[in-house]
Structure 1
Amino acid sequence: MATILFALALRLCWLFAHPLRKPDRIYLPDSHGYETLAKNIIQHKAFSSDKEAPFRPDIRRTPGYPLFVASIFRFSREDPRFVCVAQALLSAWLVFFSIRLGTLFYSQRAGLIAGGILAIDPLQTVFTGFMISEILFAVFLSWFFLNLVQAFIRPSNKRKLLFTGVLLGSATLCRPISLYLLAPVSLFWILFRHSRGVKEMLIVGVGFFMLILPWMTRNKLVSETFQFTTIGSTNIQFYDVPAFDNHLSGRSITEIRDHYSSIEPVSPIKEYWELIVNHPIEYMKVRLLWLYRLLFDPGDGVLVFLGQDYFIGTNAVPRASPLELIWGDLNACFSYIGKYREKRGHVWGFLLGFYVVFYLIFLSVRYIFAIMGLKNLANKKKGLPILILAILGYFLLAPGSVGSARFMLPLGPLVAAMAGVGVASLLSSRSKKR
C-alpha cells in the first residue's frame, strides 16, 4: 500500500507542478480529437469528430477513452484537468498490478521491487498529465495480463476466463492496437494446453467478442463497413509508407505525405508491401530504428511535456545504418536541450539534461533486469516466458513507424514485474553465497 500511495503522491505532485498550472500542456495532437468526441457524446448524443452539425459518425476512433473522458466531463464542467487527476489514480492502480504480477512470477519481494520500479517510472508519471488513452488502456491490459497469468499458473473457472476476454475487449475499445493480441495468445495456449487450451481460449474469445462485435456492427450500420476501425490504413498511408520511403529516398516526410494524400488509401498499402519485398534489408534497418523509439525515444518520452513538437526522425542520409539513425535521433534530442538551456538558462538546461540522462539510464537498467528476470522464469515457470515473449513481441511489432516510448507505457507493469524478478533473484543468489 505504501508503494501505491507513494506512486500516487509522485504523480499528483507532477500534475500540480506542471500540467494543471498550464492546462494547454494537457493536449497532444490526439487529445483534441478525444475532447471533441467526448463533448459531442455529452451535448449531442453523437460519436462524431465534427465540431458542428450534421455530426457524421466517426469510425476511425474507438469509444473506450472518449466515453471515459465524457463521464468525467459530465461532472467537472468539461474541465480536462480532472481527467488528468483521474489518470493519476489509475496510474497508481497500475503499481498494484505490477506488485501482483511480480509476486505471481517469483516472490513477494519481487512484487514489491516491481511496484517500486513502476512507481518511479518517468513515463508513467509524465503521461498522466496528457489527455490520451494510454493510462486507461494500460489498466485494462494489465488486468488482462494478471488474469491470464493466474489462469496459466492455476486452473480458472469459466466466469474468470470470460472476464479475462472482457478485459481484453475493454482494452481494445480504448486502443485498437490490441485487436489481434488474442491470436498469438491463443496459439500459445493451445500448444501448451492442447484440447483444454482450445476450450479455455474459446471462453476468453466469447468475452472478447462480446465487446468487439457490437462496435463493428455499429460501424457497419453507419458506414457499410464491417470493421473495428479505419485507423490502421490511415497509419500506413500517412506514417509507415512515408517513413520507409523517406529512409529509401531521402525525400521529406511532408513531400511524401502530400503525394500519398492524393491517392486512395488502398494504393499506399499495396505500395508499402512492394517496398518491403523489394528492399527487405533496408526495411530491417528502419525496423531497428522503430524498435529503438519504442524502447527509449527521449523525444516522445521526455521532451514531449515541454510542448516540443520534436524531431520526428526525418532522415537526411538515404539508407543510413541503424546506428546512424539512432545517433541522429539522440543528437537531435540533446541539440534541443542545448537550445532550451540558451532560452531558459544554465540551471534549467542542466536539470533537463540530467532528467534525460536519468530517463535513459533508468530504462536501460530496467530492461537489463527484465531480461534477467525472464531468464530466471525460464528455469522455474515452464512456458510462462514464452507467453510473455509472445505478448511483448506482438506489441513491439504492431505499432510500426507510429510507435514511440508511450506505446510501451501499457506494458510497464509487465516489464517492471520481470525486472523485479531479475533484481530479487540477484539478491537471493548473493544472500545464498554469503
Structure 2
Amino acid sequence: MRSGPSAHLHGSVLSSRTFAALFVVALSARVAWGLFRIVRVGGGLEFPDEEGYWNLAASLARHGELVGEHGFRAMRMPLYPGFLSAFTHFDHGIGAAKAAHWLIGSATAVLTGVLGARIGGRRVGTIAGLIVAIDPFQVFFSSLLLTETPFVAALVGFGLAMWPLVDRAGETYPAAESAGETRPTGDAARRPATGSPGDCRPQWLGWAIAGVVGAICVYLRESSLGLVVAALMMAAVGRRHGRGRAFIGAIVAVALIVASLAPWAIRNNRVTGQTCWLTNRGGISLYDGVGPQAPGASNLADIKQMSAVRGLSETEWNEYFRRESWRFIRDEPGRILRLAFIKMARTWNPLPNAESYQSRLFRVVSAGWMLPIYVLTVVGVVNVWSDRKTAIALLFPAAYFTLVHAVFVGSMRYRLPAMPFLEILAAIGLAAIIRLQKARPARDPEWRPIP
C-alpha cells in the first residue's frame, strides 16, 4: 500500500468506472440544461458580463489586444478572454464555448470526487462528485460565458495540488472513519507521511505545482490571490514536521505566482502608463459595493455614466472610484456594516436573488437543494472537527469569499467556488448518516424491522 497523504486510506482512489460515471452524469446534466436554454431563449449571451468577456475575446482574436469598454485595456485578467478567443472564429463560436464549459464543469465533478476520496475515502469521494455533478447552480452557470465554471475547476485543482502538502503524519483520519472507511494498519500506519522526518523525498515539485495552479486561479479571477497565498502559508505554518522546509516551499510557490504575473504587469504598464499587477477594475468594483447607491447588489450601469468620471483615463477612473470608496468607508461605517450583512445574506441566500428568477419553480429548486446541503455540511463539520486541519481547509474558501463579498457586492454566484469544498463536507455528513443507519440494528437490541 502506498504511503503519504495522497493514499493513506484503503479505498482512497476512485475507480475508473466511478470517474466515468461522474463525468457522464455531470455532462448529461449540463448538456440537457444547455440545450433546453438554447431552445427556450436562444443560444446567445444573456448577461452584460458575458458580452463584456466575449467582446474582449473578439478584440484579442482580431487585434491581438484586450480592449474593452471605453477603450480600457486592463479591466479583466487575460486568461479567460484568451480562452474564449479560440472560439470567436467559429460561425457558432458562442455555442462551442458553452460546450467547452460543459466539459470543464463535468471535469470539476470528477476532480471533486478525487479530492473527496483522498479526504474521506471512496464513499465520500463518490458522493461529493455526484453532488457537484448534479448541483443545479453549477449546471446553470456552465451555460454562461462567465469565469465561474473554469475558476471553480481551477480552485478544486488547487485544492488537489495542496492536499499532499498538508502534514498528515500521526492523525487518525476521522473523516474516513466517519464514512465507514478503514484506517491504515501495520506498516502502512507506521509509515510517515510525505514531508515528515522519516521521509526524505523532496516536496519542491509539489509546491511548484501548487504555485502554477494557484497562478491559473489568479489569472482567471484576481480576487483569489489572497486565498491562494493564505492557503499556501497556512499549509506551511500548520505543519508539525519539516515546517521550515515547508515554509520555504510555500515561499517558492508564491514567488512562482508573482513571477507569472510579471509579464502581465509589464504589459499593463506599457498600455496604460502605470504598473498594474492585477486589473484596474478594483476601484469601480469597490464603489459598486460601498458607494451611496449600493443596495448590496451590483449596479454598474448607472455608475459608469457618472459625470465625475467622464473623460478620465483608465487609471484615473480606477483611482477616482477607489478614493471615493474609501471616503465612504471612513465616513459611514454604520451603513457599510449594515451593507456587509446584506451582502453576506445575498451570497448565501438559499433562494434566488435576481428578480428574473423568482418563479415558484426556481425558488423550490434553489431552496430544495441548498437547505439540505447546508444541513449536511454542518453534520460533516461535526463529524470531521476532531481533524481540524481538514475542517478548516474545506471551510476556508467559504469564509474567504464571504468576507471578500461582504465588502464588494454580494451574489449567489460568488459562493460557487466554495461549494465543491462544502459539498465534500456534505458528503462526509451524508456518509456518516448512512453508516449510522446501517449500524443501528447491531447497536440497538430493541430494533426490529417492520413486518
Specify if TM > 0.5. Answer: yes
> 106, 112, 135: which is aligned to 2:120?
106
1:424 aligns with 2:431: yes
> 16, 33, 36: which is aligned to 1:14?
33
Equivalent residues in 2 for 1:22-421 (5 A)? 22-23=41-42, 25-49=44-68, 58-74=73-89, 76-77=90-91, 79-152=93-166, 153=168, 154-155=193-194, 157-193=203-239, 194-227=243-276, 228-244=278-294, 258=306, 261=309, 265-266=318-319, 268-296=321-349, 298-299=351-352, 310=355, 334=358, 337=359, 353-379=360-386, 381-399=387-405, 400-421=407-428
Query: 2: distance between equivalents of 1:83 and 1:187?
Result: 36
3-state DSSP class of the match of 1:46?
coil
3-state DSSP class of the match of 1:73?
coil
2:249 is aligned with what amino acid? E
Contact 1:296 1:405 in 2 (8 A): yes
1:385 is aligned with what amino acid? A
User: Shift of residue 3 of structure 1?
Assistant: 2.5
Bigger helix share: 1
User: Shift of residue 225 of structure 1?
Assistant: 1.9
Contact 1:163 1:207 in 2 (8 A): no
1:124 is aligned with what amino acid? Q
User: Shift of residue 20 of structure 1?
Assistant: 5.9
Unaligned runs of 5+ in 1: 248-252, 304-309, 312-332, 338-352
Query: 2: distance between equivalents of 1:72 and 1:18?
Result: 20
3-state DSSP class of the match of 1:383?
helix
3-state DSSP class of the match of 2:145?
coil
3-state DSSP class of the match of 1:130?
coil
Query: 2: distance between equivalents of 1:419 and 1:127?
Result: 21
Unaligned runs of 5+ in 2: 1-19, 169-192, 195-201, 442-451
Residues 367/225 of structure 1: CA separation in 2 closer, same or farther (3 Å cut): farther
User: Shift of residue 297 of structure 1?
Assistant: 6.4
Residues 173-220 of structure 1, C-alpha deviations (whole Å, 9 max, x = no match): 111111222342244234312323311211221332232221112111
Residues 257/50 of structure 1: CA separation in 2 closer, same or farther (3 Å cut): closer
Query: 2: distance between equivalents of 1:123 and 1:268?
Result: 32
Residues 27/211 of structure 1: CA separation in 2 closer, same or farther (3 Å cut): farther
3-state DSSP class of the match of 1:129?
coil
Contact 2:398 2:419 in 1 (8 A): no
Contact 1:35 1:69 in 2 (8 A): yes
Contact 2:290 2:336 in 1 (8 A): no
User: Shift of residue 420 of structure 1?
Assistant: 0.5
User: Shift of residue 73 of structure 1?
Assistant: 2.7
Residues 40/388 of structure 1: CA separation in 2 closer, same or farther (3 Å cut): same
**Percentage identity across aligned positions?**
21
Structure number, greater radius of gyration: 2
1:285 is aligned with what amino acid? R
3-state DSSP class of the match of 2:142?
helix
User: Shift of residue 165 of structure 1?
Assistant: 1.0
Residues 97-127 of structure 1, C-alpha deviations (whole Å, 9 max, x = no match): 2211221221211111111211221111111
TM-score between both structures, scaled by the size of structure 1: 0.78
Query: 2: distance between equivalents of 1:158 and 1:414?
Result: 25
RMSD in angstroms over aligned alpha carbons? 2.8
Query: 2: distance between equivalents of 1:271 and 1:103?
Result: 48
Residues 238/261 of structure 1: CA separation in 2 closer, same or farther (3 Å cut): farther
Query: 2: distance between equivalents of 1:113 and 1:71?
Result: 35
Residues 237/424 of structure 1: CA separation in 2 closer, same or farther (3 Å cut): same
Query: 2: distance between equivalents of 1:415 and 1:255?
Result: 35
